[in-house]
Amino acid sequence: MKNKFTREVLFLVSIIANMICYAQEKRNISNTVLFNEYKSITITKDITYREGNSNSWKLDLAKPANKSKKARPALVIIHGGGWAGGSKNVDVYQKMMIDYALKGYVTINVEYRLTGEAPFPACIEDVKCAVRWLRAHAKELNVDPEKIGAYGHSAGAHLALMLAMVPKSAGLEGDGGWNEYSSIVNVAGAGSPPTELGRDMPMAKKEWWPIGYIGANHPPLFLIQGTKDRIVRPELTRDFVTKMKKKGANIEYLECEGGHGVAYAELLEVTEPALEKFFAKHLNL
């Protein structure tokens, strides 16, 4: 009983640490084109991706301003924060949204319900709904619905992997609508990725974690892990990658000397080019 209590306390500490790292005051902006200094892209804030009584069902959109006869690849960006904190408004995710739009992607930066508002698996259902929204609006956004990627860090990495790995039959689509469209992305990158909870807690159900979907029949995946990460244990990430490779999955793995901030605030000179190359390769930019 004492060990179980200690594990749960450590888990809560990790959530608080994530909240401190990622939380930022939310801006009260709605459907406004911003950042006029970026002449080649347009940015629209706080688009509602599903109807309902939650203020969390919003996303930001950035896309190239110039018209293209060829449909563009898209990237879904998902913030971290221990599933209990964080926001799409954090500078790291705003910057990534802008950077990839400048490269030629249509990017969306997604808010979702945190555990204080709705328990698991609401966050999974929300990001899956956002992908369905994107496919539903693919024609007007000039998006190729077969070239949609996802990226997240920490809790966002978990959600990005779930977007790539979880089939409709798993029952995690939620009731957000756009159900005639698929919520599965075509490629996913994940920084400091929780592939399993590793603790005897209600949130540890295997169907809510990538470890529950080991197999070869998944889109290409790219995981980035810090060797000194005290929140996401490196041995669990390595074990996940090993099991996926044994099944024949298309999975790449980059392990760096660093902590939980790898691919977020640490070693960006290594991780950013690696991610850019990975997405360009699989989304044919």
Exposure string over 148-160, b if 16+ CB within 10 A, otherwise e:
bbbbbbbbbbbbb
CA 155 to chain centre: 8
Please give the Cα distance from 254 to 114 (Å, whole number).
Answer: 29
C-alpha torsion sign, points 57, 186, 150, 148 = negative
Name the domain count of the chain: 1
* C-alpha torsion 182→184→186→188, nearest 10: 150
C-alpha torsion sign, points 51, 53, 54, 58 = positive
Alpha helical stretches, state H, the chain: 2-22, 91-103, 122-136, 138-141, 155-165, 234-246, 268-283
Q: Report pLDDT for 19.
A: 42
What are the φ and ψ backbone dihedral angles of 17, each rounded to 5 degrees?
Answer: -60, -40
pLDDT in tens, the chain (285 residues): 444 434 443 444 444 444 434 333 333 333 444 444 556 899 999 999 999 999 999 999 999 998 889 999 999 999 999 999 999 999 999 999 999 999 999 999 999 999 999 999 999 999 999 999 999 999 999 999 999 999 999 999 999 999 999 999 999 999 999 999 999 999 999 999 999 987 677 888 999 999 999 999 999 999 999 999 999 999 999 999 999 999 999 999 999 999 999 999 999 999 999 999 999 999 987
Supply the range of the domain harboring residue 65: 2-283
The CATH code of the domain that includes 265 is: 3.40.50.1820
